[in-house]
Amino acid sequence: MPHSIDGVQGRPAPDKPLTQLVAEAVQSRGTPISQLLRLMWRVNAEAGANENLRAQLRARIGAPLQA
């Protein structure tokens, strides 16, 4: 069975739900864009994914960097 990757930390994913992973990534200003994009890929790949998760990730990916 393939090893899933946690989009936030890049480690094997614990049993965290995708909604929690997205929430943690969106709240952390230090999350790299590459990891946000991996999470977006996971949201898009999940059949029953919430449209709100997509919107949160899109907003965070497009947010300007804070100085």
The span from the CA of 67 to the CA of 58, in Å, is: 20
> pTM here?
0.71
For the chain, what is the total number of helices (H) and then of strands (E)?
Answer: 3, 0
pLDDT tens-digit map of 6-60: 544 455 556 899 999 999 999 998 999 999 999 999 999 988 878 999 999 999 9
What DSSP assignment string belongs to the chain? -PPPB-TTTSSB--S--HHHHHHHHHH-TT--HHHHHHHHHHHHHSTT--HHHHHHHHHHHHSPPP-
Q: Could you state, in order of their start, the residue ranges of all structural domains in the chain?
A: 30-67
